[in-house]
Amino acid sequence: MRVLGVDPGLTRCGIGVVEGVAGRPLTMLGVGVVRTPADADLSHRLLAVERGIEEWLDEHRPEFVAVERVFSQHNVRTVMGTAQASAVAMLCAARRGIPVALHTPSEVKAAVTGSGRAEKAQVGAMVTRLLRLAAPPKPADAADALALAICHIWRAPAQNRLQQAVARHTAHATKGPTA
Protein backbone atom coordinates (compact mmCIF):
# COMPACT_ATOMS: atom_id res chain seq x y z
CA MET A 1 0.00 0.00 0.00
CA ARG A 2 1.35 3.43 -0.96
CA VAL A 3 0.03 6.37 1.09
CA LEU A 4 0.57 10.10 0.69
CA GLY A 5 0.31 11.74 4.11
CA VAL A 6 -0.63 15.42 4.26
CA ASP A 7 -0.12 17.59 7.35
CA PRO A 8 -2.16 20.58 6.12
CA GLY A 9 -1.04 24.14 6.59
CA LEU A 10 -0.88 27.33 4.58
CA THR A 11 2.67 28.36 5.43
CA ARG A 12 4.07 24.82 5.56
CA CYS A 13 2.06 21.86 4.27
CA GLY A 14 3.91 18.66 5.19
CA ILE A 15 3.93 15.88 2.59
CA GLY A 16 5.25 12.34 3.00
CA VAL A 17 4.92 9.12 1.05
CA VAL A 18 5.23 5.73 2.73
CA GLU A 19 4.87 2.29 1.23
CA GLY A 20 4.28 -1.02 2.98
CA VAL A 21 1.77 -3.16 4.79
CA ALA A 22 0.90 -3.55 8.44
CA GLY A 23 3.26 -5.87 10.29
CA ARG A 24 6.14 -5.44 7.83
CA PRO A 25 8.94 -2.88 7.58
CA LEU A 26 7.79 0.34 5.92
CA THR A 27 9.66 2.40 3.33
CA MET A 28 9.72 6.17 2.95
CA LEU A 29 9.50 7.13 -0.72
CA GLY A 30 9.64 10.88 -0.22
CA VAL A 31 9.16 13.69 2.26
CA GLY A 32 8.99 17.45 2.09
CA VAL A 33 6.89 20.56 2.55
CA VAL A 34 4.94 22.83 0.27
CA ARG A 35 5.69 26.38 1.41
CA THR A 36 3.77 29.56 0.73
CA PRO A 37 4.66 33.13 1.71
CA ALA A 38 2.59 34.43 4.61
CA ASP A 39 2.15 37.81 2.92
CA ALA A 40 0.71 36.36 -0.33
CA ASP A 41 -2.98 36.53 -1.21
CA LEU A 42 -4.93 33.58 0.24
CA SER A 43 -6.13 32.42 -3.18
CA HIS A 44 -2.55 32.31 -4.48
CA ARG A 45 -1.39 30.43 -1.39
CA LEU A 46 -4.12 27.80 -1.88
CA LEU A 47 -3.19 27.50 -5.53
CA ALA A 48 0.46 26.94 -4.57
CA VAL A 49 -0.58 24.22 -2.09
CA GLU A 50 -2.67 22.59 -4.83
CA ARG A 51 0.22 22.65 -7.32
CA GLY A 52 2.56 21.16 -4.74
CA ILE A 53 0.19 18.33 -3.83
CA GLU A 54 -0.54 17.62 -7.50
CA GLU A 55 3.22 17.30 -8.16
CA TRP A 56 3.53 14.77 -5.32
CA LEU A 57 0.51 12.83 -6.62
CA ASP A 58 1.98 12.79 -10.14
CA GLU A 59 5.39 11.66 -8.95
CA HIS A 60 4.40 9.02 -6.38
CA ARG A 61 0.97 7.76 -7.54
CA PRO A 62 -0.36 6.83 -4.08
CA GLU A 63 -3.28 4.45 -3.57
CA PHE A 64 -4.56 6.46 -0.59
CA VAL A 65 -4.22 9.99 0.77
CA ALA A 66 -4.21 10.41 4.55
CA VAL A 67 -4.94 13.92 5.81
CA GLU A 68 -4.85 15.23 9.35
CA ARG A 69 -8.38 15.90 10.52
CA VAL A 70 -8.68 19.56 11.42
CA PHE A 71 -9.62 20.13 15.04
CA SER A 72 -10.67 23.27 16.84
CA GLN A 73 -7.91 25.36 18.31
CA HIS A 74 -8.03 28.70 20.06
CA ASN A 75 -6.60 30.55 17.06
CA VAL A 76 -9.47 30.65 14.53
CA ARG A 77 -7.25 32.12 11.82
CA THR A 78 -4.85 29.16 12.07
CA VAL A 79 -7.74 26.69 12.01
CA MET A 80 -9.20 28.32 8.91
CA GLY A 81 -5.90 28.12 7.00
CA THR A 82 -5.39 24.53 8.06
CA ALA A 83 -8.95 23.61 7.05
CA GLN A 84 -8.52 25.29 3.67
CA ALA A 85 -5.24 23.47 2.98
CA SER A 86 -6.89 20.22 4.11
CA ALA A 87 -9.76 20.78 1.68
CA VAL A 88 -7.29 21.36 -1.16
CA ALA A 89 -5.57 18.03 -0.40
CA MET A 90 -8.91 16.20 -0.35
CA LEU A 91 -9.99 17.88 -3.59
CA CYS A 92 -6.75 16.89 -5.35
CA ALA A 93 -7.21 13.27 -4.29
CA ALA A 94 -10.92 13.19 -5.17
CA ARG A 95 -10.21 14.63 -8.61
CA ARG A 96 -8.05 11.54 -9.27
CA GLY A 97 -10.39 9.04 -7.61
CA ILE A 98 -7.93 8.37 -4.77
CA PRO A 99 -9.61 7.47 -1.46
CA VAL A 100 -9.01 9.95 1.37
CA ALA A 101 -8.77 9.04 5.05
CA LEU A 102 -8.87 11.60 7.84
CA HIS A 103 -6.99 10.88 11.06
CA THR A 104 -6.99 13.00 14.19
CA PRO A 105 -3.67 14.13 15.67
CA SER A 106 -4.23 11.91 18.72
CA GLU A 107 -4.94 8.86 16.50
CA VAL A 108 -1.70 9.46 14.62
CA LYS A 109 0.33 9.98 17.79
CA ALA A 110 -1.16 6.85 19.38
CA ALA A 111 -0.49 4.76 16.27
CA VAL A 112 3.12 5.86 15.95
CA THR A 113 4.23 6.30 19.58
CA GLY A 114 1.66 4.39 21.64
CA SER A 115 0.42 7.61 23.28
CA GLY A 116 -2.17 10.00 21.90
CA ARG A 117 -0.53 12.78 23.91
CA ALA A 118 3.00 12.35 22.55
CA GLU A 119 5.10 15.43 21.89
CA LYS A 120 6.27 16.37 18.38
CA ALA A 121 9.82 15.24 19.23
CA GLN A 122 8.55 11.77 20.18
CA VAL A 123 6.61 11.51 16.91
CA GLY A 124 9.69 12.54 14.94
CA ALA A 125 11.87 10.04 16.80
CA MET A 126 9.46 7.17 16.18
CA VAL A 127 9.00 8.07 12.51
CA THR A 128 12.80 8.04 12.19
CA ARG A 129 13.00 4.63 13.84
CA LEU A 130 10.04 3.06 12.01
CA LEU A 131 11.29 4.18 8.60
CA ARG A 132 14.95 3.47 9.43
CA LEU A 133 16.04 7.04 8.64
CA ALA A 134 19.39 8.57 9.56
CA ALA A 135 17.75 11.62 11.18
CA PRO A 136 14.25 12.93 11.93
CA PRO A 137 12.65 14.70 8.95
CA LYS A 138 12.67 18.49 9.26
CA PRO A 139 10.57 20.52 9.76
CA ALA A 140 8.13 18.77 12.09
CA ASP A 141 5.36 19.16 9.47
CA ALA A 142 7.26 16.72 7.24
CA ALA A 143 7.61 14.17 10.04
CA ASP A 144 3.91 14.58 10.86
CA ALA A 145 3.00 13.85 7.23
CA LEU A 146 5.00 10.60 7.36
CA ALA A 147 3.32 9.73 10.67
CA LEU A 148 -0.09 10.20 9.00
CA ALA A 149 0.89 7.81 6.21
CA ILE A 150 2.19 5.24 8.71
CA CYS A 151 -0.97 5.56 10.79
CA HIS A 152 -3.13 4.90 7.75
CA ILE A 153 -1.14 1.86 6.66
CA TRP A 154 -1.47 0.37 10.12
CA ARG A 155 -5.13 1.30 10.69
CA ALA A 156 -6.57 0.68 7.21
CA PRO A 157 -6.93 -3.13 7.47
CA ALA A 158 -8.97 -2.87 10.68
CA GLN A 159 -11.02 0.04 9.33
CA ASN A 160 -11.79 -1.91 6.14
CA ARG A 161 -12.94 -4.97 8.13
CA LEU A 162 -15.15 -2.74 10.27
CA GLN A 163 -16.70 -1.05 7.21
CA GLN A 164 -17.36 -4.44 5.60
CA ALA A 165 -19.01 -5.73 8.78
CA VAL A 166 -21.23 -2.65 8.99
CA ALA A 167 -22.17 -3.04 5.31
CA ARG A 168 -23.05 -6.73 5.84
CA HIS A 169 -25.10 -5.87 8.92
CA THR A 170 -26.92 -3.08 7.08
CA ALA A 171 -27.63 -5.32 4.09
CA HIS A 172 -28.92 -8.09 6.37
CA ALA A 173 -31.06 -5.65 8.39
CA THR A 174 -32.68 -4.16 5.28
CA LYS A 175 -33.74 -7.58 3.98
CA GLY A 176 -35.93 -8.01 7.04
CA PRO A 177 -37.23 -11.33 8.39
CA THR A 178 -37.90 -14.03 5.87
CA ALA A 179 -41.30 -15.71 5.79
163 burial level (CB within 10 Å; 0-12, 13-18, 19+)? exposed
Judge whether 41 counts as a catalytic residue. Answer: no
Judge whether 141 counts as a catalytic residue. Answer: yes
- Catalytic residue from among 59, 63, 107, 141: 141
- Catalytic residue from among 55, 58, 59, 68: 68
Judge whether 68 counts as a catalytic residue. Answer: yes
Reading phi first (left if > 0) and then psi (alpha if -120 to 50, else beta), residue 173 is in alpha
Q: What stretches of 25-133 adopt beta strand conformation (E)? A: 27-35, 64-68, 100-103
Residue 12 DSSP label = E
Catalytic residues: 7, 68, 141
